[in-house]
Structure 1
Amino acid sequence: MMTDLPPRPPRGAGPASTAIPLAVLAALAALAVATVPLAGRADEAAATDAAAATELAPMTVTARRAEEGAKDVPFGLTVVSGDEIEARRLNTIEDVLRATPGVSVNSSGGPNLYNLSIRGVGALYQMSMDDASVVLNIDGTALTPHYSGLGTLDVERVEVLKGPQGTLFGGNGEAGAINITTRRPTRHLEGYLRGEYGQENQRLIEGAVGGALTENLSGRIALRHSGSDLWVDNLRTGDPLSEPTDLAFRGSLLWEDFDGTSVLATAERQQVKALTNLLVLMPYRDPPVNDLTPGLFDDNEKTMERYALEIGHDFQDARLTATTSVARADFTGLVAYDRLIQAATGRGGEYWIVDTSEETVLAQDIRLSSLPDADIFWVAGVNLYHADRSYDTPRNTYGTGSASERDFTTRRYAVYGEATVPVAPRLKLTAGLRQAWEEKTYDATYRGGGTAVTDARDLSDAYTTGRLGLSYAVTPETTIYALASRGYNPGGFSDYSTQPADSVPYKPAVNRSIEAGVKTESADRRFQASAALFFNDVKNNHLLSYDPATYVTNAVNADTRSQGAEIEASWRIGEELTLSGGLTLIDTEIRTNLIGLGAGDVRAGNRVPDVPRWAGRFSVAWIHDLPVRFGNLPQPALNVRADYTHVGARTADPQNSFDLAAYDEIDLHLGVMSGGAEVYLWGDNLLDETRDLYGYFAAPATAYGAPARGRTVGVGMAWQF
């Protein structure tokens, strides 16, 4: 038994009050208001610095499914550029999200299970692959969070949209959306090549090339192959538990005429092998270990594919965009409870389960929108979404006698529209509305005791999401805004039912959200800042209850609340130095008593799992010209980037059984550039702090979780042309 875990709270006892002190909120609000004159001071500083007088290009985003400036978006938004993704070695979408304050990721390290929340809003644990409070959108294709393992191959930018996004992204945008834009073909020859090698056999080679093929046709192709030793060892062999590999490809063709018509065709595929969910007994050993039969995870594999066709045409006052996409995902994964966990919970021998899933999603979106820089922003469209998938458990340690097969379908249809309209000098009104209709079916066969039991159910729903807000231009550089939104996470069926009694549909969740904030940027766009206060009231949030003694799950609902504040800023000082950072304060609370769950009672007043009260980051990027004769290199320059991330303590589960410890992470990039080439050293988690990907409690005093990789260093080289 474990002795250094905190005792489980007594029945009926909730945690101490975590209400945000009004003084803290007032201080953050004052900090937000302070950014207004700060933008003006940044302008004054730039005016006295000739090197800083160069105006930066505006930041254009597609957060509302049409091009506009990031400052004009009337809600919280974090944008991570492709250059920053490469410099920080954020090789998957999960890596990007974990590095974004205000976003929480619950993942056990495998390629298929991701639970995302934004500002403390999200399913307490994901009930199914179709259950998502945060939608992923890649080049117009809507996906669910189990695609969070997608690599950041040749990505232009990642936009993290905070607050309900149901108006433009549908029912799965209850907490927010992740909008991913990949690099499109251009008319000129360009590309890059990057290679890295580091400790624990971390290796990566990646490249892309694109350019004009004919007078009207351009193309681009990108490829990445990566791999590593898993950072958890097998106690029996002393070797890494597995050696995951990742192979990704994307190809695109862009045809354009001279009358505003374009056709973009994209095909991509990613295959991850030998990656596994990590279930490691706490406290972790050094290095962390599992006691398992060698080779159990050799057949783990996930393949993701996407094929998309985007047709666009610019009229005199509007842009037509039609996107048709097909996405497929096939998964086979073995999840294992090793002998250490089994012994700690009073059972003998290892226990493992094999899960398989297949999914095909067909999506069609047709919309009209305003042209970039139009006085009135507007977008309106129709959307169709059809998904067919399975989630099966064909065998476990004891054979195929308790196999389960489950098939699911989702049919979703929607019409939507949003506009931002001037209603007075400096004052704009934003209004958006989406009406959706949804049908789901479920068919299952459960085997056990030599018999087979079937179960079939269906449900239908019609729901409305939207938002209404005002924004006021205090100055040409600074805007304040207030926004009320309604988000929705549809009901459905659990993927993990083991008998018909467990497959009762869970209810839809509704989020009523209020946000107020300020955005500012200097006239030369070298200084940018934003701050916001927010409040979310979620009715019937989704909770997957899991009993570690019986491996049985149940889908239930609980009300939750979150409130907090956030601030982000970046400052380009001269031509060499850039400072950026962000800070979030989030207070969460479960508001429903759930008594008699297999994993233990959930009490009103408990904190929402996986959400730290405080989280923040700070980055310094410095590019400095070296002496002309340095190493006989043409135009040599030193490229230094340091990133500091803080994630505060957060509770591991809805029962608030124990906390995952806070951690601080420092990552470093140190390179020498010459022309379009760079040779660099990299270091990740230089403090070598233990970072938990998740945690779970099993009575009477056992916990297990998934540690992230410790400190590693390596070398790399890159060439852009």
Structure 2
Amino acid sequence: MRFQLLSSVVTLGFLAAAPLAARGQDAPAASQSEVIELAPVKVTARKREEAEQKVPISMTVLEGEGLQVPAPASNNALARNAPNVGFTDAGGQSSNLFSIRGVGSFFPLSADDTSTVMYVGEAPLSVYGPPPSLLDVERVEILRGPQGTLFGRNTQAGAINIVPNAPRFDWELEGTGEGGTSGYGLGELIANAPLVEDILAARLALRYSTFDGDIRNVAAGGRDGEVTVGTARGTFLLEPNDATSATLAVSYDRHIDSNPRFLLRDADDFPVSEVDPRTKVDSDSLGATLHVTHDFGPLVLDSVTSAQRNHSFQRLDPTDGLVFGSLTGLPPDFFNVSGADLAKNTFDERIYQHEVRLSSPKDDEIAWTAGLNFFRSELDAHRDGRAVTPAFATTRGLMSNDFVTNSYSAFGEATVPLIGRLDGTLGLRFTHEDKWADYDFDGDGQAGVVASFRQHGKLSDDFVTGRVALSYEWAPELTTYASVARGTVTAGFPSISANTPLGKEEDAFPASNSWTYEAGFKSALLDNHLVVNGALFMNDVKDGHLVVFDPANAAFNIATLDYRTYGGELEFTAKPMRGLSLFGGIGYTHANLVDVPSDSATGARSGNRVPNIPRFTANLGAEYRVPGEVVDLGGDFIARIAWQYAGDRAVDVANSFDLHDYSVINARLGWEGAHFSIYGFVQNAFDERYETWGQNFSATTQSVRVGQGRIIGAGTTIRF
């Protein structure tokens, strides 16, 4: 409530400033409605800046207007902007689980069990950390994989490279306020200052957003689905001379939500929950990254050091009365004894990474990068659980699990001219890892579990990842390429104990390995008014990291199964006329399990669909800018609309049922000048309560997790 009042005051202040701002709009510098060609897109997908159209990798680059991702549901919205990219919204501590082209770790077995690693300013994010806020970001590069050469461990499906805005040697101050339905509110401040002219600059970005929730809770009362996000980033840029630069970024993110994990799929007035107390997830991350670059002339040195501290707490009532009433035939109120079944999970993780690399100078005929990387993770996982319901016997007691990972790697990649316009690329990465696990269980005097159990485990692993590619530039506007890549997700120990409460050891899970084959093209047509990129792919994955839901114990068990995926994606951006921009893409992924043992207890069968992978994904959008001078105002009137689609998905490896396909439409209409803008927006215009995850409890009882509903709102931004 206090934030909503603050947001309203800020918004009124911006509105009051509008006439003053408008008087400064009479002759805005280079109105965007005058731009009629697509500007070249620069990326760092290969750890050096180059034109996106010259990189022989399938990628989606979001920048400018493409980065208008809704604040309360950033990861889901981010995934829908790129064909063949999915996000597994499993809730709890599982914050950053993406899949690309049907490859992914669809429920985290451990802290580093993800096939798509997210990076912010070259620092890898943990799957147990809060989702990134996309605050003050220059661009997002979604790199289809594997990306195991330059981005390293666990990028079997790809990498998501988030590039924040760097400090500039100019004064800048920008404030934004938004308000909307369901208690949505957002306040944002961005400030930039040159501290020492042309030598030292600083940049500060702050954001706070709220959402009151839109899922009725008939047990605890009120609404579930509340989301509160706070984030801050401070960055310093030092450039003592033309050859040297150093960037220090310190960031903090906190994410609190009450989204329920299990909702009865066919409940009246869906979505509705019946848990008491309501779910609470509170996660935060504090990180710092130092990036130093020095140009020696014949080569460029980069040193990147990052450290993070991630904390996550989850309180969960696993017995939703509607779900278990349907499952058992008992009245739902029977399961509404507050605290009778309750699990409290806490994760504390410390991550350290240091990478040093050498690269060729920009625009060298032979482009190469080589380096060394060290990564260390320390994870403490704790659970305090009690249960009256027999199905939750394995959640009883006190769990204290500690894990340490040390990873060492050497890597290199080079692109060399071969014959004429034919280039060849070869990249390799050699990795050695050591992992330790300590499991400590105390039954806390509860029935159905052992009094105590301890286990110590250790493993070491060596693996090679890499990529070989050929690319041919038929003309400056057309390049084709083909590649073969090796991907790996490392072996490890499960973070959550499913066996120690029963006095059994937890087995390490094996590494997942894959081969990926890709052929694609990149083109700029019609005098650079149309860019079209496309690719075909095939992934062959061994020991893919999947899970099986066990309804008898309401637990998730490890299933390492082989699968293959194939398909393609096509994307375009266009400026067909002055002021009009079009963008879109379509993807197809056929993903099926293969070589499943006939006696598998998972319920999986060869030919079953890989869970949570839609066959079709698509997005289509348009933005139209009209000069404000048509009404003697200055600036631009802007209208933007985007449609995003995800097809139906199998819920589990047994293909028990399918999650429904869905569409989301977002729209925005406003006026923008050099110093002031005002706009209205709608997110999820048709209030699609799309299913993001699910479990099959029985033939008649299915549970799902749902995405966020419709938000209608307005906002203003003022700039100095």
Q: TM-score, normalised by structure 2?
A: 0.88
Counterpart selection for 2:78 from 96, 118, 121: 96
Residue 365 (structure 1) aligned with residue 351 (structure 2): no
1: CA distance between counterparts of 2:275 and 2:215?
11
2: CA distance between counterparts of 1:684 and 1:574?
27
| Greater alpha carbon shift after TM alignment, 460-469 vs 489-498 | 489-498
Contact 1:370 1:379 in 2 (8 A): yes
Q: Which residue is equivalent to 2:15?
A: none
Q: Which residue is equivalent to 2:698?
A: 699
Residue 267 (structure 1) aligned with residue 270 (structure 2): no
Distance 1:379 1:221, change over 3 A: same
Distance 1:123 1:310, change over 3 A: same
2: CA distance between counterparts of 1:87 and 1:602?
36
Residue 559 (structure 1) aligned with residue 562 (structure 2): yes
Q: Which residue is equivalent to 1:6?
A: none
Counterpart selection for 1:395 from 366, 385, 395: 385
- Residue correspondence of structure 1 range 308-457 to structure 2 within 5 A: 308-337=289-318, 338-346=320-328, 348-350=334-336, 351-397=341-387, 402-448=397-443, 450=445, 451-457=451-457
Q: Which residue is equivalent to 2:617?
A: 615
Contact 2:72 2:209 in 1 (8 A): no
Q: Which residue is equivalent to 1:606?
A: 608
Q: Which residue is equivalent to 1:33?
A: none
CA shift at 1:238, angstroms? 4.6
Residue deviations 1:676-719, cap 9 Å, x none?
Answer: 32111111111222311111111242111111122221111123
2: CA distance between counterparts of 1:270 and 1:164?
28
| Greater alpha carbon shift after TM alignment, 102-111 vs 648-657 | 102-111
CA shift at 1:401, angstroms? 5.5
Q: Which residue is equivalent to 2:670?
A: 671
Helix, strand or coil for the counterpart of 1:224? strand
Contact 2:532 2:573 in 1 (8 A): yes
| Greater alpha carbon shift after TM alignment, 504-513 vs 96-105 | 96-105
Q: Which residue is equivalent to 1:32?
A: none
1: CA distance between counterparts of 2:124 and 2:421?
34
2: CA distance between counterparts of 1:340 and 1:61?
49
| Greater alpha carbon shift after TM alignment, 184-193 vs 273-282 | 273-282
1: CA distance between counterparts of 2:690 and 2:640?
22
Helix, strand or coil for the counterpart of 1:359? strand
Helix, strand or coil for the counterpart of 1:569? strand
Distance 1:642 1:576, change over 3 A: same
CA shift at 1:341, angstroms? 1.3
2: CA distance between counterparts of 1:503 and 1:74?
42
2: CA distance between counterparts of 1:207 and 1:704?
40
Residue 590 (structure 1) aligned with residue 589 (structure 2): no
Residue 116 (structure 1) aligned with residue 104 (structure 2): no
CA shift at 1:263, angstroms? 1.1
| Greater alpha carbon shift after TM alignment, 646-655 vs 117-126 | 117-126
CA shift at 1:378, angstroms? 1.2
CA shift at 1:245, angstroms? 1.4
Q: Which residue is equivalent to 2:135?
A: 153
2: CA distance between counterparts of 1:353 and 1:656?
28
1: CA distance between counterparts of 2:178 and 2:681?
9
Amino acid corresponding to residue 427 of structure 1 in structure 2: L
2: CA distance between counterparts of 1:651 and 1:233?
27
Amino acid corresponding to residue 476 of structure 2 in structure 1: P
2: CA distance between counterparts of 1:505 and 1:274?
32
Contact 1:309 1:323 in 2 (8 A): yes
| Greater alpha carbon shift after TM alignment, 404-413 vs 147-156 | 147-156
Helix, strand or coil for the counterpart of 1:326? strand
CA shift at 1:108, angstroms? 3.1
CA shift at 1:145, angstroms? 3.4
CA shift at 1:318, angstroms? 2.2
Q: Which residue is equivalent to 2:685?
A: 686
Helix, strand or coil for the counterpart of 1:169? coil
Contact 2:38 2:574 in 1 (8 A): no
Query: Please, which runs of 5 or more residues in structure 2 have no aligned partner?
Result: 1-32, 446-450
CA shift at 1:419, angstroms? 1.1
Helix, strand or coil for the counterpart of 1:510? strand
CA shift at 1:648, angstroms? 1.0
2: CA distance between counterparts of 1:524 and 1:138?
34
Q: Which residue is equivalent to 2:580?
A: 577
Contact 2:138 2:163 in 1 (8 A): yes
| Count, aligned residues | 665
Counterpart selection for 1:521 from 524, 547, 559: 524
Helix, strand or coil for the counterpart of 2:68? helix
Amino acid corresponding to residue 557 of structure 2 in structure 1: N
CA shift at 1:649, angstroms? 1.1
Amino acid corresponding to residue 357 of structure 2 in structure 1: R
Contact 2:253 2:286 in 1 (8 A): yes
Contact 1:108 1:277 in 2 (8 A): no
Distance 1:263 1:465, change over 3 A: same
CA shift at 1:437, angstroms? 0.3
Residue deviations 1:247-274, cap 9 Å, x none?
Answer: 1110011110223111111100011224
1: CA distance between counterparts of 2:433 and 2:347?
22
CA shift at 1:98, angstroms? 3.4
Contact 1:112 1:331 in 2 (8 A): no
2: CA distance between counterparts of 1:476 and 1:247?
45
Residue 249 (structure 1) aligned with residue 207 (structure 2): no
2: CA distance between counterparts of 1:639 and 1:98?
22
2: CA distance between counterparts of 1:553 and 1:234?
25
Helix, strand or coil for the counterpart of 2:149? helix
Q: Which residue is equivalent to 2:488?
A: 488
1: CA distance between counterparts of 2:300 and 2:529?
30
Q: Which residue is equivalent to 2:153?
A: 171
CA shift at 1:172, angstroms? 0.6
Helix, strand or coil for the counterpart of 1:267? strand
- Residue correspondence of structure 1 range 506-545 to structure 2 within 5 A: 506-522=509-525, 525-545=528-548
1: CA distance between counterparts of 2:73 and 2:649?
25
Q: Which residue is equivalent to 1:180?
A: 162
Amino acid corresponding to residue 365 of structure 1 in structure 2: E
Contact 1:56 1:524 in 2 (8 A): no
Helix, strand or coil for the counterpart of 2:169? coil
Contact 2:406 2:435 in 1 (8 A): yes
Amino acid corresponding to residue 433 of structure 1 in structure 2: L
1: CA distance between counterparts of 2:510 and 2:111?
16
Contact 1:446 1:499 in 2 (8 A): no
Q: Which residue is equivalent to 1:86?
A: 68
CA shift at 1:521, angstroms? 1.6
Amino acid corresponding to residue 453 of structure 1 in structure 2: F
CA shift at 1:591, angstroms? 0.9
Amino acid corresponding to residue 41 of structure 2 in structure 1: M
Helix, strand or coil for the counterpart of 1:609? coil
Q: Which residue is equivalent to 1:306?
A: 287
Distance 1:112 1:88, change over 3 A: closer
Q: Which residue is equivalent to 1:192?
A: 174
Q: Which residue is equivalent to 2:28?
A: none
1: CA distance between counterparts of 2:516 and 2:219?
51
Identical amino acids, percent of aligned pairs: 32
Contact 1:436 1:463 in 2 (8 A): yes
Helix, strand or coil for the counterpart of 1:97? helix
Q: Which residue is equivalent to 1:718?
A: 717
Residue deviations 1:562-610, cap 9 Å, x none?
Answer: 0001100101234300011000011011113357777x51111100011
1: CA distance between counterparts of 2:132 and 2:69?
18
Contact 1:124 1:541 in 2 (8 A): no
1: CA distance between counterparts of 2:577 and 2:193?
32
Contact 1:105 1:115 in 2 (8 A): yes
Helix, strand or coil for the counterpart of 1:145? coil
Q: CA RMSD in A?
A: 2.2
Contact 1:122 1:134 in 2 (8 A): yes
Amino acid corresponding to residue 376 of structure 2 in structure 1: H
Q: Which residue is equivalent to 1:27?
A: none
Contact 1:380 1:418 in 2 (8 A): yes
2: CA distance between counterparts of 1:152 and 1:487?
27
